[in-house]
Structure 1
Amino acid sequence: MTPAQSRSAAGASLPTGDFETHLDGFAGVDGSRVALSRDGAGRNDSRAMVVRTPRAGQAATVSKRRFAGTHAAGTAYVVRVWVRSASARQVALRVREVKQGRNVQARTTRVAAKAGSWTRLKVRVTTKKRDSALKLRIRAPHVPAGGKVLVDDLSVTPKGGAGASEGVAGTLTNGCGRTARGIPSCGTYVGAAHGSNTDPSALEQQLGDRLAVRRTYFTSTGVASAVRTAQADLAAGRLPWMSFKLPYSWTEMADGRGDAWARDLAQRLAAVGGPVWVAFHHEPEGDGDIQEWRRMQEHLAPLVRASAANVAFTVVMTGWNQFYGDEQYSLAQIWPRGVEIDVAGFDIYQQYGVVKNGSTTTKWTDFEQYYRAISTWARGVGVDWALGETGVTDVAAEARPTAIADAVRLMEDYGGIAYSYFDSALNSVAPWTLDTPAKRAGFAQALAGSPSLK
């Protein structure tokens, strides 16, 4: 069985919540009533569960049956459900872990559902007890008398990662597990590249919190500096995510000329005392024969992973080229084959406000469109994904002060595990740096809810 097949098997959905012929163990609470809808009222012209309240107040339903299969402590589950209401309103999904009738933990997510359209809610929970039960509650707090909420396509999915193939090696500040390579079972790391590999301590003081992940960049001769940086980051509770230029060409690296260099790097990083993420020649588009770049990644991935159990092998691309650019850069063409990659990274920036050739971009980059495409692809190949670089212009931050926090929340919904902001003026086509009050406030808001290493 290939690594991708193993991860897919671990992520198979439990058969729950189509609401076509029965209510799947759900019942109304606090006066609410549940029933099956007519044909065509559900998503994709199916049926759905209707939660109705006869009087003004909340419309709520709870599960009376067990969700989640047989599992070990530390197993990660993702619970998803779609809701719809005739008018805009807040809807919450709460997931409780229960063992022998006692509450173990609870996780809740809330969304502002748009009027007349289906909205997805998602909760990630990592079990603290073996073979515990997951109990679900869906609640809309402010519904007029006779009002209703439709519920459809509920799924409870065990997620690969911490607690799966590599096991839990540590716990994050949000209580979720992580592998030895730093892959979280739930939650999204939020962090940044800062300056020119500049110590981010002063920035963290301004933000009131530490970066959960820190991006840094090194040449092939900078291994000693990279090791010192990784040690400093881990001591501060940051996950190091490092990019390296190579000592030889892609073809020479693929043919083994750089094996001693790569093995030495991995072995030195193996001794730093915590997880490290590594990428080789990020954003390769336009820098040479892309198939030789792919072959280089295929050669180095097993070498690095075999040399260091704490080092995650990441592959970082621009994102735009993979989904909207030339076919030669599509994921089908350039993604490494036959080897295990830990994280696919994408460098996607908010283009609103970028000035190029005297013209200002007034179209907003649709991050949800990117996230939807990336998450669908990532599930298919069995890899976790993250943003290796991203940024917002000063103009965009003024127009939408919550742009950064919104992008992070949306990323969590689609299963991305890390968001790294490019707080640097190096090689920049726009003012990405966190120099304005609006951007610092927006980034601090996103950072406040981020899990980090203990």
Structure 2
Amino acid sequence: MTNVHRTTWLFAALLALAAGVVAVLPTARSAETTVQVSRFEKGLAGFSGTTSTRVALSREGAGRQQSRALVLRAKQAGPASTQRRQAVGEHDRGTRFVVDGWARASARRTVALRVVEVSGGKVLQSKAARVVAGPKKWRRLPVAITAKSADSSLRLTVRSPRLRAGERVLLDDVRVVRTVASTTTTPGPAKPGTCAVSQRGIPSCGVYVGAAHGSNTDPTALESKLGRKLAVRRTYFTASGVTKAVSTARTDLAAGRLPWMSFKLPHSWPDMVAGKGDAWAKDLAKRLGELDGPVWVAFHHEPEGDGNIQTWRKMQERLAPIVRSAASNVAFTVVVTGWNQFYGAAEYRLSEIWPRGVKVDVAGFDIYQQYGVVKNGKTTTKWTDFSEYYSKIATWARTVDVAWGLGETGVTDSAARARPEEIANSVKLMEDYGGIAYSYFDTTLNSIANWALSTAVKQQGFASALGGTTRLK
């Protein structure tokens, strides 16, 4: 989600009131210093394209003020992006910057502005805004970011995750402003740029990046190797493993990881629908509810092919209110494969299987990069298009008011060699589309390929993604 900021405290207050979060705001106008404005009249203002993107100046009259604009085109169907390193001068830790720009597109396309704070070659944080731009009017992309270091710069990236041949995105009036708030403060709505987390662990912005590791193996050694901690940890338990699950969740929360746990059931789906598992589910939720932090739970994930899917749906409908009413810190999640919902049999469409009449907090999808997978002696050479998946998921998620993420994902060794930034790019793309969680399947268990983070290229890519993750603390 996007944090919006303008130079008057009143407008910021109104926006934050709409978000429903309380914090402290200045009682008078904030002072501001313009660091740079790029209007693209005579050049690209330091923006450059990537290997897959053409960047150029438009003709006169195509810009916001009938002037020029920067034009992005994909060399072939797929993503297009442009980037600039932005020096922001001397500043203190805690200095607030507002970056905004305006976008228009030749067809309705998602456009995102990402602002990354960098110091000493390390990513300190990342904030993003996204809009669906079209040909009729310019759309503003506002990002607020508060410096974590006094010795840092900003990296600006404008990206459209999916352009077709001949389509273009126009960018104009990119502005970087340093704001200095009044010293007089008064209680008010949350300051834009703060990434709040709900009691059930739903973030107001950003993506939790983490993993399942080994066979519920302690990830401390992995974190030490990566130089960064996981923000979310995926674990799996049988119905009789509740005590171990609670202990694992307690350890994860103490380490700053969000526990995302899957459970097998103590009874069959029909018996669960009939209520035979109610006491078990309530006991589980109450025990997790005693922990100091949010926990996400799922029951019988990836159900496709395991039984009558409508009975599975009714089982989820039975358990959701039990779990959520028993523990205000536990989020109820439903995890499916993803492929079946969009490309498989009609019985697995989301319209058919999604729980009805109950609140689900997070929808999880287990989608893997299939490039390099060997099936029946043949190696897959087609890349899984995550932008296509994310677009479908995001559109659907808005219709049912549910947050979403990847409960499992992975890349093969050959995919990582071919595209070393595949993991990091998938996370950035997810944030562009509004997803909130990315859990990598770092294990060889139950796998058709080596998804594990067993190569230096994969580890570097995953560590890069962790650098910009949203965290509980």
- Per the normalisation by structure 2, the TM-score is 0.67
1:405 paired with 2:397, answer no
Per the alignment, residue 162 of structure 1 pairs with: none
1:315 and 1:443 map into 2 onto residues whose CA distance is 25
Per the alignment, residue 385 of structure 1 pairs with: 404
Structure 1 segments (4+ residues) deviating >4 Å? 28-33, 51-54, 83-89, 91-94, 107-111, 113-119, 122-126, 134-137
Per the alignment, residue 449 of structure 1 pairs with: 468
What is the CA distance between 1:52 and its match in structure 2? 7.0
2:341 and 2:438 map into 1 onto residues whose CA distance is 19
With over 3 angstroms needed to count, the CA separation of the structure-2 counterparts of 1:338 and 1:444, relative to structure 1, is same
The answer as to whether partners of 2:252 and 2:258 remain within 8 angstroms in 1 is yes
The answer as to whether partners of 1:32 and 1:51 remain within 8 angstroms in 2 is no
Per the alignment, residue 376 of structure 2 pairs with: 357
Per the alignment, residue 112 of structure 2 pairs with: 121
Per the alignment, residue 199 of structure 1 pairs with: 218
What is the CA distance between 1:136 and its match in structure 2? 4.6
Per the alignment, residue 78 of structure 1 pairs with: none
Alignment of 1:411-430 (within 5 A): 411-430=430-449
With over 3 angstroms needed to count, the CA separation of the structure-2 counterparts of 1:266 and 1:140, relative to structure 1, is closer
With over 3 angstroms needed to count, the CA separation of the structure-2 counterparts of 1:238 and 1:115, relative to structure 1, is same
With over 3 angstroms needed to count, the CA separation of the structure-2 counterparts of 1:299 and 1:89, relative to structure 1, is closer
Alignment of 1:316-395 (within 5 A): 316-395=335-414
With over 3 angstroms needed to count, the CA separation of the structure-2 counterparts of 1:284 and 1:104, relative to structure 1, is same
With over 3 angstroms needed to count, the CA separation of the structure-2 counterparts of 1:255 and 1:176, relative to structure 1, is same
User: Alignment identity in percent?
Assistant: 61
What is the CA distance between 1:149 and its match in structure 2? 7.7
The answer as to whether partners of 2:100 and 2:141 remain within 8 angstroms in 1 is no
1:289 paired with 2:280, answer no
1:150 paired with 2:142, answer no
1:115 and 1:395 map into 2 onto residues whose CA distance is 35
2:448 and 2:308 map into 1 onto residues whose CA distance is 25
The answer as to whether partners of 2:106 and 2:169 remain within 8 angstroms in 1 is no
Give per-residue Cα distances to partners, 1:326-373, cap 9 Å, x unaligned. 000000100000101000000000000001111111110000000000
Report the number of matched residues. 349
With over 3 angstroms needed to count, the CA separation of the structure-2 counterparts of 1:353 and 1:390, relative to structure 1, is same
Per the alignment, residue 90 of structure 1 pairs with: 82
1:239 paired with 2:258, answer yes
1:228 paired with 2:247, answer yes
With over 3 angstroms needed to count, the CA separation of the structure-2 counterparts of 1:50 and 1:390, relative to structure 1, is same
Give per-residue Cα distances to partners, 1:276-330, cap 9 Å, x unaligned. 0000000000000000000000010011000000000000000000000000000
Structure 2 counterpart of 1:106, from 80, 85, 97: 97
What is the CA distance between 1:175 and its match in structure 2? 3.7
Letter in 2 for 1:233: D
SS at match of 2:355: coil
2:286 and 2:462 map into 1 onto residues whose CA distance is 34
The answer as to whether partners of 2:273 and 2:314 remain within 8 angstroms in 1 is yes
SS at match of 2:371: coil
Per the alignment, residue 436 of structure 1 pairs with: 455
Per the alignment, residue 250 of structure 1 pairs with: 269
CA RMSD of aligned residues (A): 3.7
SS at match of 1:293: helix
The answer as to whether partners of 1:125 and 1:176 remain within 8 angstroms in 2 is no
Letter in 2 for 1:411: M
Per the alignment, residue 75 of structure 1 pairs with: none
1:282 and 1:215 map into 2 onto residues whose CA distance is 12
The answer as to whether partners of 1:212 and 1:238 remain within 8 angstroms in 2 is yes
Give per-residue Cα distances to partners, 1:76-118, cap 9 Å, x unaligned. xxxxxxx757998736799xxxxxxxx984355899x999996
Letter in 1 for 2:235: T
1:321 and 1:31 map into 2 onto residues whose CA distance is 46
With over 3 angstroms needed to count, the CA separation of the structure-2 counterparts of 1:318 and 1:85, relative to structure 1, is closer
Structure 2 counterpart of 1:309, from 325, 328, 335: 328
The answer as to whether partners of 2:113 and 2:141 remain within 8 angstroms in 1 is no
The answer as to whether partners of 1:193 and 1:215 remain within 8 angstroms in 2 is yes
Letter in 2 for 1:50: R
Letter in 2 for 1:280: F
1:180 and 1:227 map into 2 onto residues whose CA distance is 18
2:243 and 2:202 map into 1 onto residues whose CA distance is 25
SS at match of 1:406: helix
1:337 and 1:121 map into 2 onto residues whose CA distance is 33
Letter in 2 for 1:219: T
Give per-residue Cα distances to partners, 1:409-435, cap 9 Å, x unaligned. 000000000000000111011000000
With over 3 angstroms needed to count, the CA separation of the structure-2 counterparts of 1:342 and 1:136, relative to structure 1, is closer
With over 3 angstroms needed to count, the CA separation of the structure-2 counterparts of 1:209 and 1:392, relative to structure 1, is same
1:406 and 1:110 map into 2 onto residues whose CA distance is 22
Structure 1: runs of 5 or more not aligned: 1-9, 12-27, 34-46, 61-82, 95-102, 127-133, 142-147, 153-169
SS at match of 1:220: coil
With over 3 angstroms needed to count, the CA separation of the structure-2 counterparts of 1:215 and 1:448, relative to structure 1, is same
Per the alignment, residue 15 of structure 2 pairs with: none
SS at match of 1:296: helix
SS at match of 2:64: strand
With over 3 angstroms needed to count, the CA separation of the structure-2 counterparts of 1:50 and 1:187, relative to structure 1, is same
Letter in 2 for 1:209: R
SS at match of 2:251: helix
1:86 and 1:206 map into 2 onto residues whose CA distance is 36
With over 3 angstroms needed to count, the CA separation of the structure-2 counterparts of 1:340 and 1:105, relative to structure 1, is farther
Per the alignment, residue 178 of structure 1 pairs with: 197
2:84 and 2:405 map into 1 onto residues whose CA distance is 26
Give per-residue Cα distances to partners, 1:6-52, cap 9 Å, x unaligned. xxxx79xxxxxxxxxxxxxxxx957767xxxxxxxxxxxxx975367
Per the alignment, residue 25 of structure 2 pairs with: none
